[in-house]
């Protein structure tokens, strides 16, 4: 007996199908329902709205444990469900850092109790012993913030991860360049309230050099790289030259796709993020998305008190879970992007890159992770409707055309018409 039947679903190929869901999995996809199925009391009429695989975000910062005044697993995973996501992968820079077996297991237990969506965890890199111990807990990948370490230390950390055969996620900015530029530019008091100077302090060159170093290390160590939030065209060209030499995937973020550093003049310090929004001479844009492998929101909320400081001391980070999909669907409606590309970047590829089983496709035998979208629905982003604790976005009041209207995680409705519903989450590995 079916747990749930979704009828009159429009696929991205414009076919109308019915989906039979049992025990959280897609049992059958078919054109016609049986008479017994038509009378089921567990049937939802999708009314020929489009369905896509539940979104997978490989890059979120839910701040839990240790920084829950910014976000926690409850508020952050609610934001995920509200945004059409059914799986999220959390980064390790919480308190404590998720770089030991003890801290990794503790975070997993917290998430299992609080999360509204399925999840995985990236692990930090501390010692070889810690890296190997965490491996038993099945991290999605390991993560290194290259701007926090000297080059000699980085090579050893890369080596530890190479021994696990797991992907290595990287925040690529050169420590020496960033530190020198910040020191130099912050000496001028006029720059204290010129947020645009932050984009020159953490320069495009700092990203380019850091990525080049990562590529060279990966060649030596036979390491799979996932390069987070690549923000410049020049870096993108460098990575593509290396793609036939190493196993590397490239992530874009919504804010680097849709904004440049002129946003600092209009929205101010709240748009500060790492890496920063780029000058138009360097920034990526929507027509380059076909060169990327995935989209991660880099959802990184802070309190407004932490954001509303000067150029150098304001916290860096932008919430993104509740704005990403409508931004992308708007570009589909504007004929700048295909729905197939949206699925490739937000579901199919993330599941492949991180080897997440039974997710990323609407397919018989796979988890019933489905996001229902209404390509005709229009509105404006309003932070009062957000579930994240980070009640700010540089996209506030921006018009969107197309958005998600229902999120289904393993056959359970987790969000319908902006109302989030509790679901028993699972660790996906």
Active site includes 298?
Answer: yes
Quickly count: other Cβ atoms within 10 Å of residue 112's Cβ.
Answer: 14
Q: With CA atoms as reference, report the closest residue to 369 among 48, 86, 119, 4.
A: 86
3-state secondary structure of 287: helix
Contacts of 284 (CB under 8 A, 6+ apart): 230, 231, 232, 233, 236, 252, 256, 257, 278
Measured distance CA(193)–CA(372) in Å, rounded: 43
Directed axis angle between helix 175-186 and helix 204-221, to 10°? 170
Identify whether the C-beta of residue 94 lies closer than 8 Å to the C-beta of residue 65. Answer: yes
Strands (E), 199-285: 225-227, 248-252
Which one, of 125, 133, 89, lies nearest residue 428 by Cα?
A: 89
Q: Of 118, 147, 298, 367, which is the active-site residue?
A: 298
As a whole number of angstroms, the distance between CA 18 and CA 24 comes to 16
Listed in sequence order, the residues at least 6 apart from 291 whose beta carbon sits closer than 8 Å to its beta carbon are 236, 240, 250
SS3 133: helix
Beta-strand relationship, 50-53 and 370-380: antiparallel
Q: Which residues are designated catalytic?
A: 298
């Amino acid at each position: 007996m079916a747990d749930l039947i979704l009828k009159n679903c429009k696929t991205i190929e414009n076919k109308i199908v019915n989906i039979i869901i049992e025990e959280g999995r897609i049992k059958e996809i078919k054109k016609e329902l049986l008479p017994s199925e038509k009378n089921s009391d567990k049937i939802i009429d999708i009314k020929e709205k489009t369905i896509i695989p539940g979104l997978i975000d490989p890059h979120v910062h839910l701040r839990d444990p240790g920084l829950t005044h910014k976000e926690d697993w409850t508020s952050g995973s609610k934001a995920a469900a509200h945004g059409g996501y059914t799986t999220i992968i959390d980064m390790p820079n919480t308190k404590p850092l998720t770089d030991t077996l003890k801290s990794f297991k503790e975070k997993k237990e917290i998430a299992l109790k609080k999360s509204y969506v399925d999840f995985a965890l990236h692990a930090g890199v501390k010692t070889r012993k810690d890296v190997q111990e965490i491996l038993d807990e099945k991290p999605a990948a390991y993560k290194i913030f290259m701007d926090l370490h000297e080059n000699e230390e980085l090579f050893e950390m890369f080596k530890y991860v190479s021994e696990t055969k797991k992907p290595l996620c990287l925040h690529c900015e050169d420590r020496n360049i960033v530190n020198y530029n910040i020191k130099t530019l912050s000496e001028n008091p006029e720059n204290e309230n010129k947020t645009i100077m932050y984009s020159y302090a953490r320069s495009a060159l700092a990203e380019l050099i850091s990525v080049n170093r990562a590529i060279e290390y990966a060649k030596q160590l036979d390491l799979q790289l996932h390069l987070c939030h690549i923000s410049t065209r020049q870096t993108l060209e460098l990575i593509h030259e290396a793609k036939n030499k190493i196993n590397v995937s490239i992530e874009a973020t919504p804010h680097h796709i849709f904004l440049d550093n002129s946003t600092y003049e209009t929205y101010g310090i709240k748009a500060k993020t790492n890496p920063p929004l780029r000058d138009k001479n360097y920034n990526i844009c929507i027509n380059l998305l076909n060169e990327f492998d995935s989209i991660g929101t880099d959802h990184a909320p802070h309190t407004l008190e932490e954001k509303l400081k000067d150029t150098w001391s304001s916290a860096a980070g932008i919430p993104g879970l509740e704005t990403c999909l409508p931004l992308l669907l708007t570009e589909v409606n504007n004929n700048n992007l295909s729905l197939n590309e949206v699925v490739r970047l937000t579901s199919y590829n993330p599941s492949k890159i991180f080897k997440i089983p039974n997710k990323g496709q609407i397919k018989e035998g796979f988890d019933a992770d489905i996001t229902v979208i209404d390509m005709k629905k229009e509105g404006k982003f309003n932070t009062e409707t957000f579930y994240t604790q980070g009640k700010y976005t540089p996209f506030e009041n921006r018009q969107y055309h197309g958005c998600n209207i229902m999120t289904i995680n393993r056959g359970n409705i987790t969000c319908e018409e902006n109302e989030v519903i509790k679901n028993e989450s699972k660790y996906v590995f």
